[in-house]
Each structure stands twice: as structure tokens, then as C-alpha cells.
Amino acid sequence: MTLSRRDFMAAAGTGAVGALIGITWGATQTVDSVTQVDNPLTSYPNRDWEQVYHDIYAYDEVDWTVCHPNCTQSCALNFYMKDGVPIRAEQVYHNEEPSVGPSGYEDAGVSQHWNPRGCMKGLTVHRRTFEPTRIKYPMVRKGWSPDDPNPEGRGEDEFERVSWSEAIDLLAEKMANLEDTQHFHVFNAIKADGLFTRHGSARRLASIFGGCEWTEYDWYADLPPGHVMTTGYQTSDADASAWRQADYTIIQGKNLIHNKLADNHWFQESRERGGTIVGVYPDYSPTVQKCDRWLPIRPGSDPALPLGIAHVIIDEERYDEEFMRSYTSLPLLVREDDGKYLRAHDVFEDAEPPDHGIDGEHGHHVEGDWGEFVVLGEDGDLHRVSREEVGEETPVTPRLEDETEVTLTDGSAVSIRTDFARQKETILNDYSPSKVAEITTIPAEKLRQTAREFATAEKAQWFTGEGINHWFHGASECQRGIFLVQAMLGNIGERGCGYYNYSGQYKIELLDGYPTYVNPDGHSARGMYPGHALAFFGGERLDPHAIHGDYDRELELVAHEDSDEPVLPEGTESYTMKKPEILWTMNCNLLNQTKHQEHVIENFVKPPETANELLVVSDMHMTYSARHADIVFPVHSWLECEYPDITVGPENPFVQMDHGVMDPIYDTKQDGEIVARVAEKLDEKIPPEERNVNSYREYFAEFLAEDGDVRTYIQEAFDSGITTRDIDVEDLENGPERLQLKTYPRIPFYSQIHEDRPFYTKTGRMEFHKEEDRFLELNRDDIQHFESPEGTPYGRGKTWKEGGDETNELYEDGYRFHYNTPHPKYRTHSSWGMTDWNLIWSARDFGSTNADPEGTERLVDDFSFPQGDGETEDVPPLGEAFVEMHPNDAEDIGVKNGDYVKITGDRGDLVIRVLVSERQRPSDAGDIGQLTIWHGWWEQQFPDEDETSDVVGYNVATNIWLDPLLETDDVVHKPTFGDPNVSDIVDEDVSWHGAAFAQGYEEQVWAPTGVERDTLVKVEKYEEADWRPGDARKDELFQDYVSGSIQEGDS
Amino acid sequence: MPETYNPQLGREHSYPYEHREEERDWHWGMIININRCINCNTCSFACKSTWTSGKGEEYMWWMNVETEPYGGYPMGWDMRLLDDLEEGETIFEAAEDGEQAAGYIAQKEDWEYPALGDDQAHGEYPAGDVVESDLENDEYHDMWQFYLPRLCNHCKNPACLAACPRKAIYKREEDGIVLLDQERCRGYRKCVKSCPYHKPMYNPETGVSEKPVGCFPRIEEGNVPRCVSSCIGKTRLHGNINRGPDAGHPNGNTSAAAGRSPVNYLAKSDEKAALPLYPQFGTQPQVFYMPPYHVPPEFLTQMFTPNTNEKRNDWPGSTFEESIKIVQDRVRNPSHHTLGILQLFGATTRLIETYTVKEHRVKGWDRKGDKVVDIPFEEEMEIREGEMWTNQP
């Protein structure tokens, strides 16, 4: 077995890739006489040799598992095994040979339209498994000791190999000695994969131990809070199979064809069925080639676009009044004096004010009592409307537009307007197509045409993604504006209609029995509030009403002590303010992927004052994060895992279970088993009276017991969730099943529109005017466009009316490029970053099988990976990072393809190769240009010439912004698990039975999304290329080629 | 030298070997809908992981996707050959004395960058303007790119076969797949030089050349090639390109539909929607592309038509450029029948021999006559009874 693995590595591993170097390309000189064959076009005499290829193709057996990185898609794949080694992966089909593994998706009750799934990354999971970057055994940093953490040495010290029991003992000892268990933090980027036997187990440990958990949303800003503001719901995403029903699609800042590889076809198929696609991007995103029309937009001006569309719809009265009256806040009356929705008890003597006041109590499980609302009927009288009276239950036909004065019960008079009248006034005054053209640089007549077509379409959908969500106002105003358009047109609750994001692996709510596992017996880890994290990193007490993130790089940063009281928000118990003395990350490459990277490394990771005494990283690979760890736990690849695990995703209706197909090749363990062993050790070290629970071990007994079966945990969670209660975990071994939801395909707000259930807002309606104090304070109660706090040539943070004539001083200083870091397709974030074939392709013009010799030598040094005891492992150099830059801008600074440039931002600099690229936005197109670096490069893929900082990577120039709009606990929403509309109807053994609303902070739903990339940079030439890739397309012949006249030109 | 009739050109030209009098009953053929291609290269990785992950094969991507117009593997392969050919001249007619076909051997550095130009676009940034296409009004994207999946065409006039001095390359009788005999080859690299698509490649470790095998071990079992079954963009359909409208039931199985194969329909019917890549080379390639409908037809005319002034073949329109426009429109606005065939793309691993398209349903049968696809045009909407269900649990 072992031998054959070595054979495999010699034959197919990365080590062989450099083999072409130095081998001559001359043909062999052997000459044999040519005989026997008559006409090879019609027959050939000896075909026995064809067996050669049958042998290459042959396999012993097929096993299957699921590839589920944070691309969010989760694809079952068959692995073809020879001598116990996977030689290739293939997609599964409906119960077909040669898919002898799972049943495919047929047993999940879907059609063959879902076939096939699994992209090029899935097809190299086995190469990734055998990669030299794998961590082969547990290690401890030599400079670290439990009493003297010496964090300055992180990232530089060598590692020492230790045994598993030693490594686990070190962590458990440290945990047992914590004065306050809340100083134990896990970061597992709650993703709806790895739920039970991977990072979900760490959450379970943090819950029973009394620790804290950081999540992806809070840290990485994937999710769209504008959805929560408008609908009270985390993210309104449909099954991908609903996409192709649309007659018209606007896709804004989302490179869907490359980031939803397996599901993209549903999107594209809408065109074959008569649909139109309009793309809105600053650059020629690869998705543009699929669009019928591309509206090139000034980066960061996105919130203005839906308002321009809304202008046309309102101005030309193309809206659906019935829908607006039934399902939106637009007919509700708003008081002009305080900006609050008029309540029934304001004007009706017999109406009772809500028990606990309109703001009620913050936190989870608040009763939905925010008073009754008021409309003006067609009869001109005031009528009360409760939050349950929506849809056909709306008691009267309310006026959409009115402006009048009403007498309150105390006898005073107050001016009121409908929500619609307010939005309409702003939009008609400030966002005409010509005004929006000024803001966005999109021609007014094309905006108007697009708006008319969109409004005319029977079914129209709108996509955004992280390209928008990570912009400061993209996360709020832009999304609210899109919802306003969709609500005015009634494009909600039907197949092919809606507003989607699909950003992040957040749809944990689809597995609604999950809390049974991660929050057992009422124990729940506290959330980590990113504002607090930033306080550690920023060394300042945060003013909750200010924008955070506008630091310059010289800022002296000091670490903070614990806060006695929350910076914000107030009154909720579900998050922590305790600093991480122990931080254990798993399932993520936190330090490579963090924005404002230099800041994080230099102010959090390395300074002793942070008191972050133990950084533990569980990883498959020697990532940037692992290199900075004190203790490194090596984990299995998906192919090696010993325990099955569950995954669900936002674009598809499947619940899937992965399991390994081969034995581990190194001394690795699965995340869950590592956690279980730590728990076991805690029982030894902590006396029973000091424990939070009777035994930590017993919560992980199935991992540890001889006859244990972790599927028990999965089944228990399934049994307590309404989406999974009829699913038998054993059935998942034969293939995916489908979640039990209201509809297939899943359609957001189907019940709201078809069954008149309230939205999860205070008003029970899609809510456009926001009455919460923070919105009012910041002048963001109604929907407007604001310029970015940094990424604009104009007045920073201002509306166009205020700031359109101003100039951003940073821009005047030469910072004339937006810094764009979109998700790559050959990697998922940083994973597969060193997998040979993926790297060759992701490096584009700078990726090659054997590269230039000089470049090769340098890169070999850079691509080495520390192993225990000072050993390193070299990897063949296959590719380098690059930045894409428009030819005009490249010419301005005198750089050619392949030269190095230095990119300077307010927060850090980097040196990187240039790929001259016509698809980028030049700085002379509407004043601002764009530089694009695909996200997820590894440190080794950057040159080491940069002396300005030890911190190297694409993220040194990105930023962490905190938007004060999001730093409030006033916003009401549906909790992750449970639907207040039906929480009393579901059986009592459903774990969320009786769930009420949430108000304020909730991990993965409502929090300041700590990471917005909105930054400006400048760029200058750094150095000539040491070698350049070939480029046959730049010679004169190319002009004939591209114009289609190459042969005419020749004749 | 024998003359052969080339229907893609609508004329006869020379080819070193006589064709069989009758066309094969079964011939390997493929349709690729470029409009659906997303350049994920899953096909490339599928092919490489199946066939070329050994020593000396590191640079070999039998299957690769190029971004037009800036990509090219090997670099600039088509531009150079087009420039060397006189208009209206096949590579066989342009061959120098002592050679069977015109061509060149790409150098090591030409093979060096398989992802060169990946995802890049061509054109001027539309400052203050938009990019759009409107086929009815002859409007196409003036800034553009498209993805061109490239593989061995298993040509009916294979240049590699014509050029091999050892006759080590042959066309299989049963399926038309062109194979290079690994035992007989001596590494002269004449095939490497003459294939205009540059798919035979020399292995410096073994000293012999290799060429794509059409996934024949899969074809023999009735499954489609790896590049087809792995295609998550559902861009591909594979099957019997020779199965015309008069063919009977597959395997005599009367429960299966008789008549033409779906690939034959898209490549050869009156509603032809797929065209060969550089037919002017004269090799009769058997991969047919549904052209990108946003791209200027001048460029596509050069790429997918014989590129002569005189139009001799049976393609729609009075000129080749007009043919391209008509086909672009057929792909952008497919008929119900074509749309039905598009549902077969990526639906099954099995090789679809025949099919039917009804109003709401599409079906396909394999070579044994077994039904392998039965698929509605639309996913059926299901609404779960009971008040407790939510779409947002």
C-alpha cells in the first residue's frame, strides 16, 4: 500500500512537473522500415497496442466523497482508485455507470438538469492531498512556551515536531489555566460545510467550555445587511434552478460564471429561453461576455444605479401598486417630526401602546410587539394596520402617496407622509438618469432603456455579490435600492424573480437542527463582536457613531484590556468583549485572508501586549496562517477523513455527506477528533467542580470510544430539524438527499407572497424607510446614494448633492485607482493555491510548467515550506501573482507586461508583476481606474524585493471598515434558526419550536461586517521584468487576425 | 494523390489516402456551445488527470480552453498557420515538396504558457458608453472575448495521419477515432508538425509522440469522453455525427427513437447551429462549435467558415459572413427543437444515440436503445403541503 502511494507520487505528484527542464527536444534517431500498413484511414493491422490506454484508464474500485470548500456549492465526486490511491475524480450522474459510487442526485428527487457538478478544483483534490505543502505532523514553534509566548517570533521561528499527545496536552493545559473561559476563542468561519466532525465540533467545545466563537460574517463581511434592513432576513437566495425562469436579469458586480461554477448554467440558460442579461461592472468581468449589455460603472458608485432605475419606474408610473400596498412599508405613514412610523396609539384613543415600548427589549426571542402602524385609506381616513395584516389581509386599500397633518391623541398636530412619498421625493429630485449618469458614468439613455426593459419583463431578477457587499455603501444602500425596485415591480416570491447574493457559505439555517449539536444542553459559545476585535487591533476605544477604519499606517497601536461594558451594541448577551488569550483557527487561512493584513500581523499577531498567548492553527497545508502559529495541528484532506460530515449550500437543495476514500498519508487527524482529544484532556486537568459540564469528554464520546459512531450526532441533529427530520443519515451514504423546504426550487419569500405571512421586520413588510435611531442620526433613514468614505474622487462619505463638486484629497495626492480583489476561479480563496495545475492556470501569463530559469531559481527559494526541526520542502515554481492594469495606465508609468510595480495604499505597499489588461477600467474613464488582483495568492507567490514591510501579500492594501449604521442593536430580524411565523405550529421536538424574533446582534445575521475593502491606491514602476512571457498576439499580424482579415491580408 | 470531396468546403481537394466508399456507420463527433462555456477548464483537468499526468507529459494539455483573441496553446498557433496559407487553400494543397501537409513545429516556449491571455478581453474601454449586442440590428459587442475549448477533432482527413511516415497513425474502423500507435511511433514528429490544431505532442521522456485518444475506452463502453462528462457548463454533446435522418432504431430497439442523432442534427440539419473550427485547413474536423453570438461576425467568419469569397457548401446564407450571422441567431434564439437538444447537454454520462423533443419533455436513448435521458423542459415546481413548512426554516 505504502509503496504504491510512493509510486503514485513519483508519477503524478508535483515533483515531476519540472522534469522538462534540460531535456532535449530532438526526435530519436531510430529508423525502422515502414511496412505492413496499407491505408490507415480505413484499416490498421495491429491494434493490440491499444491496451496501453486501457491500462492507463483502468482502476480497481470507485469510491465517492463530497468536495466542499468555501465556494459554497458542494459537489459529490467519484474517486477512481488504483492500488488504494485516487488516480482521478469524476462527476456523478443519476445512478449511472461508471458512477458506481453514489446514486447521484436522482435520489434527491431532482432532474438530470442538475448534472454534472464538480469543477476543476474537485478534480485536483487528490493532487492537493499529495502536495508538498501538506503539514505532516503536529508541530510547536520553537520560540513559544506556555509561560513565555514570545509572539514576536511568530512567522519567523522554526518548528519542532511533537507528538499528538504532547501538542494536545499543551493546548489543554493552557485552556485549563485560563482565569476566564471566555478568553478561549475559536475561529471557524461558520460555513455550512464541515458541520459536525470538523469545525462544528470546535463550536461545540467552545459552547460547553464557555468560550467564544468568531464567524465569517463578523470578520469577512460576506453577507448583505441591506437584506436584513429591508426584509429582516439574512439573505434571500433561491435555488439555482429557479434562475433560468427569469426573462430579465441584472447582474451587478458579481462574477457568477466563475464563482458559481457548478451552478452557473442555470443562469446562462435563461438566455436560451428568451431572457436578457445586463451586467454592471467597472471592468470587463468574465461574466460580461455572457451579457447582452454591459453598463460600465465607476467603481463604488453602485448604490446610485438602482435609484436611477427606480426614478424611471416612478416617473413613468411603471410600478405595481397592488404589490406595494400589500407587501411593503411604502403606504405606511411616517412622522415628519421624528422620522418614526406613525403608530396607532399615536392617533387612536382606543389603541394600546406596545407593552415594552416600541423599541422593546433587545436580544433574541423578543416578542413581535412594535405597535400597530397607520395608513391613509382611499376614503381619506386613518386606519390601523398590524404587522400581521399583510397581503390580502391588508385591512383597507391604503393610499401610496399622501402628505398631510394629523392630530395626535395628546391634541398636538404632526405632519405625516407615506414612506413612498418620502422615497419618491428623494429619488425624483436627486436620481434622474442624467444625474445618475454623472455619478456612475453610465449613459443616461441606457439607464432609462434598461429600466424600461426591466420593468416590462414579466419575471426579473437581480444579482449582486461580494463585489458589492464589500463596498462600504454597497452593503446597505445599494441593496435597499435594489429591493425597492424589485418591490415596486412585484418581483418577489416567484421563480425567476428576486434579489440574490450567494456570498459566503452562510446557509446554516438550511440545517435547522444544527444547534442541537453545537449548542448542546443550553450551552452556547458567545459570539465575537468584530468591533471588539478591531479595538484589539486598533488599540482605541471605539466611538459607536463614527466610521472606523480610516487609520493611516503610522498609527501607534496599543493593545486593549478587556472592556467592562460593550463598546456596542448595548444590552445583548450573545457576544463577548473578552480578548482571545487562546485563538484556535480551523478551516480557514485567517492571516492570509484578513484585510488590512499588515495591521493585523503587527498589532495583533506579533506584539506581546495583545496578550494573545497561544495561536493554534489546524490546517492541511503550511499556509501563511500556519506559519504564524504557536501550535500547528495537521488535518486530513477530504479524501483521508475518518469521520463522515455534512454539508449544505445556498444555491442547491441538497444535504450531502462526505467520507474519506483512502487512508491518511501523514500523521494527521480530523478536526473533530483533535477537538475530542482536547476535551478528553480537559477532564484530566480540570476538577469536576470547576467544569461547566460534568464531563467535556462525554460530548465527544463517539469520536473516542472504540465502538463510537459520530453519525449519532448527525442523526440527532437531523431529527430535531424540520428540514431534515425525515432524512436517515445512512441514506446519505448512497448519495445526496434533498432538504425538506416549502418549495422546490426554494424561492425566497414564497410564503410571504402566497400565504400572506409577514416579513421579519417590525412592520411585517418589506421595509424601506428605517425608523431606528442610528439610521436617523446618520441621515440614512431613506434610501440615498453616498460616496465611499475613501474610494471616491469626490467628497468622501457624502451624498452626490453635497459631495459631487468636492474632490477627495487622497485622490488629489495621486491615489487614482480602486483596489479590486475579486475571487479567483482556479482557487477557492487561498485553497488550491499551491496545487500544481491550479497554480499554473491561476498565474495566467506568468504560470508555466517550467518557467524561465532565472525566475525559477528565485521562486524555488520562495516556495519552500518549513517542516519540523528546520527541514524545508521545496515546491517547483509554477506561477506568480500579478496585478491587472489597463494599457493606458501602464503606459503612463512606463511599464510593460511582466514589469514590477509598487502599489501604495494608505495601509500598506506591495510589489507585484503587471499584467497589462484591456479589460481593466483605465483611470481616464470617468476619473477613476481600477487595479485588479485575484484574491487568495500565497505569500510565496509575491517577489521578495519589497523592503518596506515583512508583511507580504495582496491584503496589505485592503482595509477593515466598520460602518456605524451596522453598529446598532435596534434592527429586528428573523433569527438564524426558526421562523417566528410558524414557530408555534412546528412540532415541539423541532429544536426551534417557539422561536421568536431577534433584535440586534446575531452572528451571521446582524453585526458590523468588519471588512469592507473600499480603498484607493497609487501605483508606480518598481523594476523591469527579469523575464517576460511570450506574447504572439502583440505583433502586427494580430491586427489582421482580430479583425478577421488575416487571409485576405495575405492574398 | 487521391482527391477527396470535402463537404465543409463544398469541393474536392487532394488527400494522400483514399476514403472508404461508404461513410462509417458510426463516427465520433462533438458539439460545443461556446456561449455556455465559462473557461473553468474542468474539461482540461479531467482530460489531463485521465490521460497525461505522467512523466514527459507535464506540458501536455490534450484538452485546453483558450480565451480568444489573446489566448493560444501553443502560442499563436492559428494566426501563424492562417498567415502561411493562401486564401482558399487547404494545408494539403499548401504542402511543400516531400511533405503531406503545411505546418510547423511549435517550440518549447510556445507550449510554455497554457493559460496565456486567460480571461482577457479585446477592445477599447467603453468610457461614457456601453457594450451591447442586438442581433436583429447587426450589432455585436465591440469589446469582446470568448472561450474556445480546443481538442483533437478526430478529423475525417486527419493531417497527422497523412503526415506520418511510419503509418503509425490510423482511423479506427468502428468509430473514426484517430490513434497514434505508441509502439510503432519513432518520434519523427511529422504529426506534431502537420496537425493544424497542434494536438499531437512529443514526449521527451519516452521519445515518441502522443495524441489525444478520443477517450476510446469510454466510447467502447457507451460513455462520452471525459471532457464532455465533466463539463459543468453543459456546453457539450457527444455522439454519432454520421447518424442521419434515415437511420433506424438503435440496436433495433423499437422503443427507442429512430432517426438522426442529436449531434448530427445540430451540425448537419437544415437548422444547422454548429460549425467546424477552421474548415479551410481541409482536415474535416468533427468537433462543431455553436458560435458566440455577441462576437463580431467578421472574426467568426475567419474562424468557423472556409473563408473564401466563393461559397460552395450548403451552409445557410448567400455568403459565409451571412451564414455566421444566421447561425449566431439560431443559437441566441433557438427553436423549440434546438432548445430541446440543448437540454441533453450534460444530462447523462451515457452516449446519446437518438432522441425526441416533445413540447414539454426531451428523451434520449443510447446505442443499445436504452433510455438514458428523460427530462422536462422545466424543473417541476413542488409545493409542500402543510403550514409548518417554510422556505426559510
Q: What is the mean pLDDT of residues A56-82?
A: 93
pLDDT of residue A552: 54
Q: Which residue of A has its CA nearest to B129?
A: A443
| Cα of A32 to nearest chain B Cα, Å | 8
Query: Has residue A563 got a pLDDT over 60?
Result: no
Query: Has residue A548 got a pLDDT over 70?
Result: no
Across A102-106, A532-536, A620-624, which has the greatest mean pLDDT?
A620-624
The string of pLDDT tens digits covering residues A871-886 is 888 777 788 999 999 9
Distance CA(B104)–CA(A617), nearest Å, equals 53
pLDDT category of residue A95 using cuts at 50, 70 and 90: confident
Residue A19 backbone class (left: φ over 0; alpha: ψ -120 to 50; beta: rest): alpha
Residue B54 backbone class (left: φ over 0; alpha: ψ -120 to 50; beta: rest): beta
Q: How many CB pairs under 8 A join A and B?
A: 434
A1038 contacts B69? CB cut-off 8 A: yes
Question: Which of B193, B232, B303, B384 is the best substitution to test chain A (most A C-beta atoms within 10 A)?
Answer: B232
The string of pLDDT tens digits covering residues A43-53 is 999 999 999 99
The string of pLDDT tens digits covering residues A128-180 is 999 999 999 999 999 999 999 999 999 999 999 999 999 999 999 999 999 99
Distance CA(A893)–CA(A888), nearest Å, equals 9
Distance CA(A211)–CA(A747), nearest Å, equals 36
Strand partners, A865: A873
Q: Chain A contacts of B172, Cβ < 8 Å?
A: 44, 47
pLDDT of residue A18: 33
pLDDT of residue B24: 86
pLDDT of residue A530: 61
| Cα of A907 to nearest chain B Cα, Å | 29
The string of pLDDT tens digits covering residues A377-432 is 999 999 999 999 999 999 999 999 999 999 999 999 999 999 999 999 999 999 99
pLDDT of residue A946: 53
3-class SS of residue A645: strand
Distance CA(A894)–CA(A902), nearest Å, equals 13
pLDDT category of residue A28 using cuts at 50, 70 and 90: very low
pLDDT of residue A574: 64
Report the alpha-carbon angle A729-A733-A739, nearest 5.
Answer: 55
B229 contacts A743? CB cut-off 8 A: no
Residue A458 CB partners (closer than 8 Å, separation 6+): A247
The string of pLDDT tens digits covering residues A767-811 is 999 999 989 999 999 999 999 999 999 999 999 999 999 999 999
Query: Has residue A5 got a pLDDT over 50?
Result: no
| Cα of B259 to nearest chain A Cα, Å | 23
Residue B351 CA, distance from chain mean position? 16
Cβ-nearest to B375 among A111, A1031, A1050: A111
B72 contacts A742? CB cut-off 8 A: no
Is the bond leading into B69 cis (omega within 30 degrees of zero)? yes
Q: Which residue of B has its CA nearest to A878?
A: B113
A42 contacts B127? CB cut-off 8 A: no
pLDDT of residue A497: 96
Cβ-nearest to B391 among A36, A446, A743: A743
Strand partners, A746: none
| Cα of A59 to nearest chain B Cα, Å | 11
Residue A657 CA, distance from chain mean position? 22
Break chain B into its structural domains and give their ranges.
19-26+41-214, 226-376
pLDDT of residue A559: 41
pLDDT of residue A27: 39
- Specify the CATH number for B19-26+41-214; select among 3.30.200.100, 3.30.1050.10, 3.30.70.20, 3.30.230.10: 3.30.70.20
Helix (H) / strand (E) containing A811 = helix A809-812
Q: What is the mean pLDDT of residues A19-23?
A: 33
Window from A20-24, A246-250, A1001-1005, A1027-1031 with minimum mean pLDDT = A20-24
Question: In percent, how much of chain A has pLDDT > 90?
Answer: 71
Contact A593, A470 (CB under 8 A): no
Distance CA(A863)–CA(A855), nearest Å, equals 12
Report the alpha-carbon angle B74-B75-B79, nearest 5.
Answer: 105
Query: Has residue A561 got a pLDDT over 80?
Result: no
Other Cβ atoms within 10 Å of A1051 Cβ, number: 10
C-alpha cell at A955: 491584503
Q: Chain A contacts of B51, Cβ < 8 Å?
A: 53, 56
Cβ-nearest to A24 among B204, B299, B346: B204
A116 contacts B381? CB cut-off 8 A: no
pLDDT of residue A1050: 36
Q: Looking up cell 422615497, which residue turns up? A: A423
Other Cβ atoms within 10 Å of A355 Cβ, number: 9
C-alpha cell at A753: 407572497
Q: Chain A contacts of B53, Cβ < 8 Å?
A: 11-12
Q: Chain B contacts of A847, Cβ < 8 Å?
A: 113-115
Q: Looking up cell 413540447, which residue turns up? A: B359
Distance CA(B337)–CA(B359), nearest Å, equals 9
The string of pLDDT tens digits covering residues A988-1007 is 999 999 989 988 888 888 88
Taking each helix axis from N to C end, the angle separating A444-456 and A304-315, rounded to the nearest 10 degrees, works out to 70
Q: Chain B contacts of A269, Cβ < 8 Å?
A: 36, 234, 342
| Cα of B267 to nearest chain A Cα, Å | 18
ipTM: 0.97
Q: Which amino acid is at B7?
A: P
For chain B, what's the residue count? 393
Q: What is the mean pLDDT of residues A299-317?
A: 97
pLDDT of residue A999: 87
Q: Which residue of A has its CA nearest to B134?
A: A292
B169 contacts A37? CB cut-off 8 A: no
B388 contacts A987? CB cut-off 8 A: yes
Query: Has residue A819 got a pLDDT over 50?
Result: yes
Query: Has residue A121 got a pLDDT over 60?
Result: yes
Q: Which domains does chain A have, with CATH numbers?
A: 139-222+509-635+670-719 (3.40.50.12770), 225-503+753-777 (3.40.228.10), 815-960+1015-1041 (2.40.40.20)
Cα radius of gyration (chain B): 21
Query: Has residue A8 got a pLDDT over 70?
Result: no
Per-residue pLDDT of chain B (393 residues; tens, 9 = 90+): 899 999 999 999 999 999 987 788 999 999 999 999 999 999 999 999 999 998 889 899 999 999 999 999 999 999 999 999 998 899 999 999 999 999 999 988 888 889 999 999 999 999 999 999 999 999 999 999 999 999 999 999 999 999 999 999 999 999 999 999 999 999 999 999 999 999 999 998 899 999 999 999 999 999 999 999 999 999 999 999 999 999 999 999 999 999 999 999 999 999 999 999 999 999 999 999 999 999 999 999 999 999 898 999 999 999 999 999 999 999 999 999 999 999 999 999 999 999 999 999 999 999 999 999 999 999 899 999 988 998 765
Taking Cα atoms as reference points, which of A307, A553, A546, A332 lies closest to residue A447? A307
Residue A566 CB partners (closer than 8 Å, separation 6+): A529, A532, A572, A575, A577
End-to-end CA distance of chain A, in Å?
Answer: 63
Q: What is the mean pLDDT of residues A862-869?
A: 78
Tally the C-alpha atoms within 13 A of residue A593's C-alpha that lie toward its C-beta.
24
Distance CA(A556)–CA(A967), nearest Å, equals 25
Q: Chain A contacts of B188, Cβ < 8 Å?
A: 27
Other Cβ atoms within 10 Å of B138 Cβ, number: 10
| Cα of B257 to nearest chain A Cα, Å | 19
The string of pLDDT tens digits covering residues A723-767 is 999 999 999 998 999 999 999 999 999 999 999 999 999 999 999
pLDDT of residue A596: 84
Choice between B13 and A369, residue whose per-residue pLDDT is larger: B13
Q: Looking up cell 433495433, which residue turns up? A: B252
Q: Which residue of A has its CA nearest to B79?
A: A1041
B379 contacts A241? CB cut-off 8 A: yes
pLDDT category of residue A12 using cuts at 50, 70 and 90: very low
What is the rounded average pLDDT for all residues in chain A?
88
Choice between A352 and A163, residue whose per-residue pLDDT is larger: A163
| Cα of B304 to nearest chain A Cα, Å | 11
